[in-house]
Amino acid sequence: MGEFLVVSQTPESADIIVVLAGDIRGERILRAVELVKGGYAPRILVDSAMEMYGVSEAELATTFAVQGGASGEIFEPFPIKADSTFEEAQVVDAELVRRGIRKALLVTSNFHTRRSLRTFETLGSGRVRYLVIAAPSADFQPDRWWYTRSGKKTLLLEYLKTLNTWYELTFAR
């Protein structure tokens, strides 16, 4: 059940890396930095849908990565108003099209990969090719999720969100 949620495609050269919002541990931003260091894209668009104590998620993530040794010049904060991956995909895709981006690597938590890729492919303009790259998650091990409380909660919540997304993409459009 856990492995079904995870889709991690092989990275390819891309115009940009997009770090999806919602990571509180820095796992997504650090995976994106690895991809830049590997030569897959020159910069990282850091999607930021929330603030914590008046500081945007993008700023927190970027600061965390820079403190870990990443160059601050590779990051582009991108604050948005979105309450879901559904809304996030529409806003991010429109921005990438505006910039003339043709291929983007989407970096998100392993459990969020299947749903986010389907959402971006379905709601996107079709002008950007998306590859999803899984960042590891301390809260979710796909082959051992049932051993921890956080793994069980993550699996249940992601399946509920996946069903809701399937319904919205199929019937609510």
User: pLDDT tens digits, the chain, 173 residues: what are they?
Assistant: 999 999 989 999 999 999 999 998 999 999 999 999 999 999 999 998 878 888 889 999 999 999 999 999 999 999 998 888 989 999 999 999 999 999 999 999 999 999 999 999 999 999 999 999 999 999 999 999 999 999 999 999 999 999 998 888 787 65
Structure confidence at residue 82 (pLDDT) = 87
Would residue 171 count as lying in a domain? no
Report angle CA 100, 57, 84 to the nearest 5 degrees: 70
**Structural domains of the chain, count:** 1
Structure confidence at residue 127 (pLDDT) = 98
Q: What is the pTM of this model?
A: 0.94
Whole-number Å distance between alpha carbons of 157 and 142: 14
Structure confidence at residue 173 (pLDDT) = 59
Would residue 38 count as lying in a domain? yes
Distances (CA, A) of 38 to 21, 43, 50, 66, 116: 22, 12, 29, 17, 23
Would residue 58 count as lying in a domain? yes
Would residue 19 count as lying in a domain? yes
Structure confidence at residue 172 (pLDDT) = 64
CATH of the domain at 72: 3.40.50.620
Would residue 143 count as lying in a domain? no
The residues, any chain, with a CB within 8 Å of residue 120's CB and separated by 6 or more, are: 89, 92, 93, 106, 130, 132
- Token digits for 136? 């590891």
Q: CB–CB of 27/108 below 8 Å?
A: no
Would residue 156 count as lying in a domain? no
Query: Which residues span the domain enclosing 84?
Result: 2-138
143: number of Cβ within 10 Å: 9
Structure confidence at residue 51 (pLDDT) = 81
> What does DSSP assign to residue 47?
E
Structure confidence at residue 52 (pLDDT) = 83
Would residue 39 count as lying in a domain? yes
* Cα four-point dihedral sign 169, 164, 146, 19: positive
Structure confidence at residue 145 (pLDDT) = 97
Would residue 119 count as lying in a domain? yes
Roughly what angle, to the nearest 10 degrees, separates helices 57-67 and 27-37?
60
